[in-house]
Amino acid sequence: MSMSRDEIFKNVQEVLVEALGVDDDEVSKESRLMEDLGAESIDFLDIVFRLEKVFEIKIPREELFPAETIMNNPDFVENGKFTEKGLSELKEKMPHTKLGDFETDPDINKLGNLFTVDAIINYVDNKLNAA
Amino acid sequence: MRWIWIDKFVEFESGKRASSIKNVTLAEEYLHDHFPGFPVMPECLMIEGMAQTAGILTGEAKDFQEKVILAKVNKAVFFDYVCPGDTIRYDAKIEMLTDEAASTTGEIHCGEKLIAEIDLMFSHIDRNLGGKKFPKDNFVFTDTFKSLMRGISTGDKDSSKNATEAD
């Protein structure tokens, strides 16, 4: 199934409206799932389930929203901040996500800010359109 | 006392769908307060009934090895009242089932009449993302809950996986 980024966005928007009970005009490409749209832990699974259904793809655990395995590794996190090693692990695990400011202030409490609508679109785009 | 809001299962297809019924009677105290002179079954209790139906369906799919906890009410829309003397039927269906969670859809009917649509999510709490630990003992699926399934066949797990969807 091939789909343009705009079509992917429309579908992702619909998924988030249903999963999080937000209005569609609240969901922009820049929206952060937790901070802006109020997503909690179970919502991430809900979102993954819905994305799998809508786009007919399989999303392995920790692929779209990797957090658990990275955060629980002492090599990657030290005193509540990501280490150099942790950051490069994040980059490798989350090629669909721009780290941006997080690289200069890799506070683990801000990890949630990386989970954005744009990251979901990139992820789905890769899955659907990668040759 | 356990908080049981279904009377028995009437259909069960392992890992796919299950149906239970509840008889609503004025012998239940809450109906006298909800509301005096106008007894109707509270909607929150119907959500609980669906959570028990869908929760047991989810638990049985993994042979009751997981602790299945209601994590999210995705949808709960009610169309009509349920009154003393009514028998309501909960039909629950598994939409997704993974190692860590399940999502279900469901409907409540009274006879032919659609009473509600209720979609839920369940978490297998021992596999929660926060890595929290819970007691070993499965405090969710006690014998009381399992007794609701007496006399009902859950179908053969392997054959039901290969069977095509009936509805």
Q: What ipTM, to 2 d.p.?
A: 0.81
Residue of B135 and A5 predicted with greater confidence: A5
| B129 with A67: Cβ contact below 8 A | yes
For residue A10, the distance in angstroms to the closest alpha carbon of chain B comes to 20
pLDDT at residue number B52: 96
pLDDT value for B46: 98
Among chain A residues, CA nearest to B96: A49
Give the integer Cα–Cα distance in Å for B109 and B15: 22
**Is-contact B90 B28, C-beta < 8 A?**
no
- In angstroms, the CA A47 to CA A45 distance is 5
Give the per-residue pLDDT at B166. 41
- Residue A72 is predicted with a pLDDT of 81
Dist. CA B1–CA B3, nearest whole Å:
7
Which chain B residues are Cβ-neighbours of A66 within 8 angstroms?
none
| Chain B nearest C-alpha distance from A19 (Å) | 7
User: For tokens 């369906």, what's the residue?
Assistant: B57
Alpha-carbon gap, residue A23 to A38, rounded angstroms: 12
Instruction: Considering only the C-alpha atoms of chain A, give the largest distance between any 2 of them, rounded to a whole number of Å.
Output: 44
In degrees rounded to 5, what are phi and psi of residue B157? -55, -50
- C-beta atoms of A61 and B100 within 8 A: yes
What is the mean pLDDT of each successive set of 10 residues along chain B, which is 167 residues long? 87 97 96 96 98 96 92 97 98 95 97 98 82 78 81 68 42
Q: Do A45 and B101 touch (CB under 8 A)?
A: yes
Residue span(s) of chain A under CATH 1.10.1200.10 come to 1-59+116-131
What are B119's two structure tokens? 């979609």
The owner of tokens 């957090």 is A67
Task: Tell me the per-residue pLDDT of B115-155, one tens digit each, with 9 for 90 and over.
Answer: 999 999 999 988 776 667 788 888 788 887 778 888 888 87
User: B100, B32 in Cβ contact below 8 A?
Assistant: no
Whether residue A42 and residue B123 make contact (CB cut-off 8 A), yes or no, is yes
Closest alpha carbon within chain B to A71: B130
* B121 interface with A at CB cutoff 8 Å: yes
Please state the φ and ψ torsions of residue B32, each to the nearest 5 degrees: -80, -20
Percent of chain A with pLDDT over 70: 98
DSSP 8-state secondary structure symbol assigned to residue B164: P
A48 to chain B, closest Cα gap in Å: 10
The residue with greater pLDDT, B90 or A97, is B90
- Which residue of chain B comes nearest to A52, CA vs CA? B96
Contact B106, B118 (CB under 8 A): yes
Nearby residues of B29 by Cβ (< 8 Å), 6 or more positions away: none
B124 is catalytic: no
Please give the pLDDT value at position B163: 42
B121 contacts in A (CB within 8 Å)? Answer: 42, 45-46
- C-alpha–C-alpha distance, residues B123 and B99, integer Å: 9
CATH superfamily for domain B8-146: Hotdog Thioesterase (3.10.129.10)
Helix (H) or strand (E) run with residue B104 in it: strand B101-110
CATH entry 2.60.40.1930 includes domain A1-59+116-131: no
Q: Which chain B positions have a beta carbon within 8 Å of A41's beta carbon? A: 128-130
Spans of all domains in chain B: 8-146
Using an 8 Å CB-CB cutoff, list chain A residues near B103. Answer: 46, 49
Residue B54 tokens read as: 């869908």
Rounded to whole angstroms, the Cα distance separating A40 from A26 reads: 17
> Which residues of chain A are at the B interface, by a Cβ-Cβ cutoff of 8 Å?
18-19, 41-46, 49, 52-53, 61, 67-68, 72
CA distance A8 to A119: 12
Q: What pLDDT score does A11 carry?
A: 97
